[in-house]
């Protein structure tokens, strides 16, 4: 199967460019990566290939995204679904600029090369396993999708197949699907009869024997003290810049903010200046 991916950033800097170059160099021919920069709050990034109009692919979500003021805060699907759909590959990857791996990237992709899931991502939990996830308050679904079947995720790094994109577009044409796409995406994928799997953290979506093999994140047991992959706190240097700042080698880390302030409720969807020049 062929694989391609987008490296997504909303900030341009030499440090981020070098991070992208390391990803490309260390991945080799296994995945064809494209640098994608989103320069404003709306889902029309600079992309080195053609992709369909987001407003046509996800019209209901696109309208709600515009009311929301942009993609940050739950509406990144309006960018990801059309842009990933423009890739000519079977396996479609997203890697955001603030994801890093404490080792060679080809080692990471080798760890997951045998996975055949349609959606491969992180921090997958049912609603009852993390009832305090803040985005549940905005979530809603058709009445035939009971809350006990709702699933959350964290998607700065993910891999999916084209059937996931198709199932997602069909589902969210129903305006009863509301809320953060990190709830809608895994929930819809499961409902479509497609396979959802965790890269390798902890929880019921992690294959036996893969626990904590790819990252350490939140789980049904809570937040571990040695967390490497979560929403906060940020690190400020990439692995290739300061390997000593990454205590557990061979794991994913997030977020890494190289001179880029972490967004808040007040600053989300506000265009940012380019990162540090260093």
Measured distance CA(247)–CA(251) in Å, rounded:
10
In a domain, 259, yes or no: no
In a domain, 112, yes or no: yes
In a domain, 44, yes or no: yes
Cis peptide before 255 (omega within 30 of 0): yes
Measured distance CA(91)–CA(200) in Å, rounded:
18
In a domain, 166, yes or no: yes
In a domain, 263, yes or no: no
In a domain, 258, yes or no: no
Q: What is the pLDDT of residues 207-261, one digit of tens each?
A: 999 999 999 999 999 999 999 999 989 999 999 999 999 999 999 999 999 999 8
In a domain, 267, yes or no: no
In a domain, 148, yes or no: yes
What is the domain range of residue 148?
Answer: 3-253
Whether the Cβ atoms of residue 127 and residue 136 lie closer than 8 Å to each other: yes
Q: What is the pLDDT of residues 61-101, one digit of tens each?
A: 999 999 999 999 999 999 999 999 999 999 999 999 999 99
Instruction: Compare 270 and 91 and report the one with higher pLDDT.
Output: 91
Number of other CB atoms surrounding residue 197 within 10 Å: 20
Q: What is the CATH number of the domain that holds 54?
A: 3.90.550
Total domain count, the chain: 1
């Amino acid at each position: 199967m062929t694989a391609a991916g987008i490296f997504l950033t909303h900030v341009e800097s030499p440090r981020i460019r070098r991070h992208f170059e390391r990803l490309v160099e260390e991945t080799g021919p296994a995945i064809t990566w494209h640098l994608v920069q989103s320069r404003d709050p709306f889902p029309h990034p600079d992309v080195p290939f053609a992709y369909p109009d987001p407003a046509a692919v996800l019209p209901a979500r696109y309208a709600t995204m515009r009311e929301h003021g942009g993609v940050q805060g739950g509406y990144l699907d309006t960018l990801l679904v059309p842009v990933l759909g423009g890739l000519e590959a079977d396996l479609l990857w997203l890697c955001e600029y603030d994801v890093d791996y404490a080792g060679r990237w080809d080692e990471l992709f080798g760890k997951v090369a045998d996975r055949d899931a349609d959606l491969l991502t992180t921090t997958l939990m049912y609603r009852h396993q993390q009832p305090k996830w803040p985005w549940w308050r905005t979530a809603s679904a058709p009445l035939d999708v009971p809350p006990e079947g709702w699933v959350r995720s964290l998607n700065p790094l993910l891999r999916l197949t084209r059937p996931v994109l198709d199932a997602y577009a069909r589902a969210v044409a129903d305006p009863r699907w509301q809320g953060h796409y990190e709830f809608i995406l895994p929930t819809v994928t499961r409902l479509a009869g497609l396979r959802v799997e965790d890269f390798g953290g902890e929880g019921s979506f992690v294959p036996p024997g893969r626990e904590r093999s790819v990252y350490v994140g939140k789980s049904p047991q809570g937040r571990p003290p040695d967390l490497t992959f979560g929403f906060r706190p940020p690190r400020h240097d990439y692995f290739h810049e300061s390997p000593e700042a990454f205590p557990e080698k061979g794991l994913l880390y997030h977020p890494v903010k190289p001179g880029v302030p972490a967004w808040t409720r007040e600053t989300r969807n506000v265009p940012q200046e380019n990162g540090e020049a260093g």
